[in-house]
Amino acid sequence: MHLFVNGTLMRGEALHQNLSACTFLKEVSTAARYRLFLLGGDTYPGMVRADIGASHIAGELYFVPDAHIDEIFAREPPHLYLGEVELEDGSQVPGVLCEAEAVHQNPEITTYGGWRAWRKHADVVV
């Protein structure tokens, strides 16, 4: 199966080793239907589908052997789950989403367009 990831599972990030049995396919962006928030004390992002304030979110697409999907999500931080994500080209793929109720009162980083762009900004600001 294909899997869209947008945070710490991406190449060079803290949990990328959880995709060691997977094949990187390409960098992609979502359709402009999502918002991105900082969770876990700013250690990982949570992406939620939204009708208002939504934007494209950058991420990566992987091929994941079906036998490994449960193992990957067992290691994901709280409030993240496997759901359908619409990509910029209109296709639908499984991806990492966040429970909407988990993002309340967490900082929003949607305007950066993705986790890596926010991290780059945060490294400059700090």
Q: What is the pLDDT of residues 51-71, one digit of tens each?
A: 999 999 999 999 999 999 999
Instruction: Report which of 34, 32, 27, 47 is spatially closest to residue 88, judged by C-alpha positions.
Output: 32
**pTM for this predicted structure:** 0.94
The answer to whether the beta carbons of residues 10 and 59 sit under 8 Å apart is: yes
Give me the pLDDT at residue 89, please.
97
Confidence class of residue 126 from pLDDT cuts 50, 70 and 90? very low
Mean pLDDT of 112-124: 90
CA distance readout (Å), 8 to 15, 18, 91, 112? 5, 10, 23, 16
Q: Which residue has the higher pLDDT, 126 or 37?
A: 37
- pLDDT tens across 17-47, in order? 999 999 999 999 999 999 999 999 889 999 9
Predicted pLDDT at 124: 61
Mean per-residue pLDDT, 75-84? 94
Query: Please, is 78 exposed, middle or buried when counting C-beta atoms within 10 Å of its C-beta (0-12, 13-18, 19+)?
Result: exposed
> What pLDDT score was predicted for residue 41?
87
